Amino acid sequence: MVQDPLEELGRHFAKRADGPFGDLELKSGRTLQPFSITGQRAASNLLTKAIRDLDNGEPERARSYVDRAVRLPYDRHEESHPVAMEAHMMLFCLVTDELQAADEDDSGWLDAAIAAQASASEAARCTMRDVLMAVDHDYNIGQAERAALRAATADVP
């Protein structure tokens, strides 16, 4: 019979709670990190396969991978769904890779991000806004790009 890994982990630490450090390790959150990493890797793998299948003209197969990724369990340690975290990170990397590859006077990366945001669902617009706000905070971009970025994100909830 397959046990729930979190229940098994709980029993393990209940036994250790009588030791000199009590339940310190459990309370530190380090014990749940391997579960978070596993969920994130699974989400990354499934989304990568979905992107591959979209590129190969197989949208139904891509959808099945996305559906599987969405069904991954909520990550209590990270307080997020692994697929949401991974999708956000993939988008962030896509935008920042384009930014870093662009010439200093080339704002094509931002034009593409703004165009994608304008045609996206509200949830996707919010995710792009978060990515662009991180770029605004973390990257040294030109004043015109910064103004365009802030204008594009100002009305996004």
Task: Tell me the pTM.
Answer: 0.73
Mean pLDDT confidence for 38-67: 95
Distance CA 123, CA 112 (A): 18
**Would you say residue 116 has pLDDT above 90?**
yes
Residues in a beta bridge with 80: 75
For residue 100 the two structure tokens come to: 């870093």
pLDDT in tens, 13-37: 556 556 665 555 555 555 666 667 8
Distance CA 75, CA 35 (A): 8
